[in-house]
Structure 1
Amino acid sequence: MTEQDSRKYPYATVSRRSLLQSTTALLSVPLVAKATAAFGQEKLAGSGEVVVHSYGGSFTETLRKNVFDPFSQATGIRVVDVTADLAEPQIKAMNQSKRVDWDVAFISAGNYPELQEAGTFMPIDYSLWNDEALKGVPDSARLTHAVLAFQSTTLLVYDKRAFPKGGPKSWADFWNVKEFPGPRGIDGITGYRPMSFALSADGVAYKDIWPLTEDKIDQALKKLDEIKPHITKWWMAGGEPIQLLMNGEYVMTSAPDGRAITAIKQGAPIQMVWDGAAIGGVYWSVLKGGPNSANAQKFMAYVNRAEIAAGFTQTGFPSPNINQLKYLAAYLPPLLSINPENVSPENVAKAFKFDTPWYAAKRPDGKTNGEHIQERWLAWRAR
């Protein structure tokens, strides 16, 4: 890892305090960015295509409307979108086969260090960025080989129809099936989130959840034994939990905040609970060996421009460029993704952030802490 990457690694330092001070909210009705030839002229004009990974569903639909199509109109470069809930397995497979078919991908903060050290990404060409983007996207979000795309929070969400007199307010309530009966859902993709929720339910202070040492893993899995019979489905894709909630297959579930925000904007009767929310980061990356690297660099410069950042924010996952404020109408302030330095002090106190350096660190057996956690998780799930 380069010195710059190491220094800028703590993604959670991105500040959006001025965002809340400047507006009473972040999200608005769907915004269509003004895409003109002049907007992408000179450095960003081009031809051909760029293959961009996204997560599918409403997330990709919003990106296509507010980011991909405007980019194509402005630059002459066509966006081919590919969808996968997790990009990392496909990226590893492409690298092993020495055939990289994608150009741009979302990479979770937990997986970034290993892939970066393996030489998976190209350095970001910041010379293509305009001044507004360079000043609006904080230094801490601009790594040598990646740019913070958004900060995601996985939190407890419940169906208000199931609890007309008031629903759960914490993960302890999620475990309380007597007072809050009904089928539940939890993320089955990565073990560290269910484990952290279990520790929260078991009374561990948020500041003490990380690192997930062996004794905490044992404690978490023991607590998860209690709720396992009430989990009707371990969801495996970001769009699943809200859909299952609205279909009545869950009365409560963990879910990504952006997916919940999108549903609430559409009138869904659901409630987000910030107590015990888990904060993580996701980066944009340009894949080394991709078929359209030059166009990928232009895409990265474009998506971080203030007006396009505002379009990205319509996914429910706010882009870090604070200069997008002028393009956003004041709306839905309580539903913002949390940022530990800013946003909402009352929400920050209820949340905990992902410990990326520890998660990526190697153990004596050569595996990362993250790999060990996942092995313990999959073994527990298989019981």
Structure 2
Amino acid sequence: MSKQDSCNRSYGAVSRRSVLQWSAALLTAPFVAKATAAFGQEKLAGSGEVVVHSYGGSFTENLRKYVSDPFTKATGIKVIDVTADFAEPQVKAMSAAKRVDWDTAFISPFFQGYVEMQQAGTYMPIDYSLWDNEALKGVPESARLNDAVVAFQNATMLVYNERAFPNSGPKNWADLWNVKEFPGPRGLNGSGGPTVMLFALMADGVAQKDLWPLTDAKIDRALKKLDEIKPHITKWWMAGGEPIQLLINREYALTSAPDGRVLAAIKRGLPLRMVWDGATLGDNYWTVLKGGPNTANAQKFIAFVNRAEMAAAFTQGTGYPGPNLNQLKYLPADLVPLISINPNNAVGAVRLDIAWLTAKRADGKTNADNIQERWLAWRAQ
């Protein structure tokens, strides 16, 4: 992983491999929304096509089955798939060349250059007049930006092997530091970023409401707390699948891990337990690309996928929850307790402060870059 990737993707974006493995694991109880002309509503009806970016493999296959094909049936608009591991470099290049071939793209706000692309007018304003009332009420205002909509969110959380703690397992980050009451080998994300700093601060007693901004003083405090646990970290994991395998092999008793990988393992019957208190949440956006060949149809596609029933189809088909809370009534009962938009899980989670992380300091570095430099220097000690 390059420095740029470790600085800007480990916080909230997900890798293509994580996307594909999670989406492949969830299709145990398929759900396809009932797609009819009435469901599409007259204002979404149209003709022609829309070019939609996704990550390829099972993710694109499931997006087509559970969202794109129902969209075509309901509206008459054909969906053309394009795939890329990361859309941002291609979107940036197309915009610079003034030859935009896609209509929508998944974009991470942690991409280095996202703010510059946004300020350059790369993304069109989202047409919320096309959304139905259930979508507008179900998708929080914080997820409905002027030129983007949260497509899905992913989390990094404390996870433990139930076999290691059969009676009462850890319940928060302080318990990861509590090696006496919760003995066993531990893991944390070696690529660092603000998530590990946040875990350390919460373990040190900082209230969630006081975590942001991550000032230099708070970073000092976090690194001092990390000094305590460093000798007990048997391996700093780097790829999303590592902590799950190490938990299964009992090389970890507890660790931080991406929620998607944990959920997929639980669906396979593995004895892992998610701890949502103190989990960090990052967003990935739907965008409509300015200059795309079918932007009107792209607006209709995004309005369609954010409807509650279709949001549930997206979540079950891809494994990643979109922000529409009204979808919960359409999801299988066994899936609801395992996803981040469940209010019982969300109440204890910490959302990453994208605006602060991407803001530039007086020295010209972003706050995210500063945190990563501090982290790498600490790891090298």
TM-score scaled by length of structure 2: 0.74
The within-5 A match list for 1:1-383 is 29-36=29-36, 39-40=39-40, 43-54=44-55, 62-74=62-74, 75-84=76-85, 87-88=87-88, 91-92=91-92, 95=95, 100=100, 102-109=102-109, 113=115, 115-176=117-178, 179-186=182-189, 188=191, 191-228=193-230, 230=233, 232-237=235-240, 241-242=243-244, 245-246=247-248, 250-290=252-292, 292-314=294-316, 315-325=318-328, 327-331=330-334, 333-337=336-340, 343-344=343-344, 348=347, 350-381=348-379
Secondary structure of 2:176's aligned partner = helix
Q: What is the distance in 2 between the residues matched to 1:231 and 1:59?
A: 33
* Letter paired with 2:286: W
Alpha-carbon contact 2:102-2:293 (below 8 Å) kept: yes
Cα displacement string for residues 152-205 of structure 1 (whole angstroms, at most 9, x for unaligned residues): 3321112223433443332233234564322524262x6011111122233333
Q: What is the distance in 2 between the residues matched to 1:381 and 1:65?
A: 44
The structure-2 alpha-carbon separation of the partners of 1:81 and 1:170, relative to structure 1 and needing over 3 Å to count, comes to: farther
The structure-2 alpha-carbon separation of the partners of 1:194 and 1:95, relative to structure 1 and needing over 3 Å to count, comes to: farther
Alpha-carbon contact 2:53-2:87 (below 8 Å) kept: no
Secondary structure of 1:359's aligned partner = helix
Q: What is the distance in 2 between the residues matched to 1:221 and 1:262?
A: 32
Secondary structure of 2:185's aligned partner = coil
Q: What is the distance in 2 between the residues matched to 1:240 and 1:35?
A: 39
Name the counterpart of 1:21: none
Q: CA deviation at 1:209?
A: 2.0
Secondary structure of 1:193's aligned partner = helix
Identity of aligned residues (%): 63
Alpha-carbon contact 1:173-1:180 (below 8 Å) kept: no
Q: What is the distance in 1 between the residues matched to 2:250 and 2:88?
A: 32
Alpha-carbon contact 1:187-1:255 (below 8 Å) kept: no
Alpha-carbon contact 1:286-1:296 (below 8 Å) kept: yes
Alpha-carbon contact 1:106-1:285 (below 8 Å) kept: yes
User: Mind listing any 5+ residue stretches in structure 1 that lack a counterpart?
Assistant: 1-26
The structure-2 alpha-carbon separation of the partners of 1:51 and 1:58, relative to structure 1 and needing over 3 Å to count, comes to: closer
Secondary structure of 1:311's aligned partner = helix
Secondary structure of 2:226's aligned partner = helix
Q: What is the distance in 1 between the residues matched to 2:300 and 2:60?
A: 19
Cα displacement string for residues 355-374 of structure 1 (whole angstroms, at most 9, x for unaligned residues): 33332333222333223223
Alpha-carbon contact 1:156-1:255 (below 8 Å) kept: yes
Q: What is the distance in 2 between the residues matched to 1:98 and 1:224?
A: 47
Alpha-carbon contact 2:77-2:297 (below 8 Å) kept: no
TM-score scaled by length of structure 1: 0.74
Q: CA deviation at 1:214?
A: 0.9
Secondary structure of 1:279's aligned partner = strand
User: Mind listing any 5+ residue stretches in structure 2 that lack a counterpart?
Assistant: 1-26
Q: What is the distance in 1 between the residues matched to 2:252 and 2:63?
A: 28
Q: What is the distance in 2 between the residues matched to 1:94 and 1:162?
A: 51
Alpha-carbon contact 1:174-1:180 (below 8 Å) kept: no
Q: CA deviation at 1:347?
A: 6.5
Q: What is the distance in 2 between the residues matched to 1:94 and 1:326?
A: 40
Alpha-carbon contact 1:258-1:337 (below 8 Å) kept: no
Alpha-carbon contact 1:158-1:271 (below 8 Å) kept: yes
Q: CA deviation at 1:145?
A: 0.4
Secondary structure of 1:32's aligned partner = coil
Task: Give the paired residue count.
Answer: 348
Alpha-carbon contact 2:185-2:234 (below 8 Å) kept: no
Alpha-carbon contact 2:184-2:254 (below 8 Å) kept: no
The structure-2 alpha-carbon separation of the partners of 1:143 and 1:163, relative to structure 1 and needing over 3 Å to count, comes to: same
Name the counterpart of 1:4: none
